[in-house]
Amino acid sequence: MKKKLTKLSNRSILSVSGKDSEQFLQGIVTCDIKNIRKRSSYGSILTPQGKLLYDFIISKINNNFLIDTSESNMDSLIKLLNIYKLRSEVSLDKRDDLSVFVSMDNKKENPNAVDPRISKLGTREILDSNNEFFNSDQDSYEKQKIKLGIAEVGSEIKSGELFPMEANLDYLKGIDFKKGCFIGQEVTSRMYRKGKVKKRIIAFESKDTFTSNEELVYNNQTIGAVIKKIDDYGLALVKIEKIINPEREKIKITTKNNDKNVIFVFPDFFSE
């Protein structure tokens, strides 16, 4: 019996090939390209000031690197890489013949395809776009992603607005601090060493309806804002020091009008 997969229509594939492709990517992205073998890696491209421009899952098939990223960011990503390419022997090709397929129930059958960020997201594969064995229930996957506290550039995060650690890339294995130089490394490494991450994206649970950027309040102080909500779960960017305490599971979070209630859901990867 063929496995049932979910096709992610909001993701696209960029092929990076050529004899200089590994060296080219290694000097730009936050993950270690040299460690990509059978399994994919999670990584990103930052601004020189250390802000998060693009995040992606990157894999290697034969001598080609395949970047799985947000469809809405694809054109601007290609434009940026062409600027950095200079005289490197690198080819950049958007692969419309390939798509991203996920499965929440396929981890044991295909352990090498488990999402590199967190295993509870299941498997993630790049397959022929015309694959017949898929369903269109992308909503269930998106709900699970939100519930687990995962935010992506293009879907939940605006390009260039957050530092990567505010989006939890350090916890999600999206930054290799031992690999050497990458764009934005100096700022990122300094924040990491000094532990100066004042805000982070955290999942929350609530029966109430929220709008994007609606403020969250604790002890009459604004501590963050809603990013996105699907059904009973959402994501918020929160001042982390305000909610880290021994009774963090009991603290009452509400809104300015004190008419809504929020319970933060601290993910498995979140630092205790």
Q: Which two tokens stand for residue 131?
A: 């694959």
Q: What mean pLDDT comes out for the span 153-175?
A: 96
Q: What mean pLDDT comes out for the span 266-270?
A: 76
List the Cα angle 212/214/220 in 5-degree steps: 160
Look at residue 124 in the predicted model and tell me its pLDDT: 95
* DSSP-assigned letters across all residues of 89-114: --EEEE-TTEEEEEETT-TTT-GGGB
Q: Is 71 helix (H, G, I), strand (E, B) or coil?
A: helix
Q: How far is CA 133 from the centre of its chain?
A: 26
Q: Between residues 106 and 80, which one has the greater pLDDT?
A: 80
Q: Between residues 112 and 66, which one has the greater pLDDT?
A: 66
Q: What confidence category does residue 107 fall into, taking pLDDT thresholds of 50, 70 and 90?
A: low
Look at residue 169 in the predicted model and tell me its pLDDT: 97
* Residue 245 clears pLDDT 80, i.e. is over it: no
Look at residue 1 in the predicted model and tell me its pLDDT: 46
Q: What mean pLDDT comes out for the span 44-52?
A: 98
Distance CA 129, CA 237 (A): 34
* Residue 257 clears pLDDT 60, i.e. is over it: yes
Q: Between residues 136 and 150, which one has the greater pLDDT?
A: 150
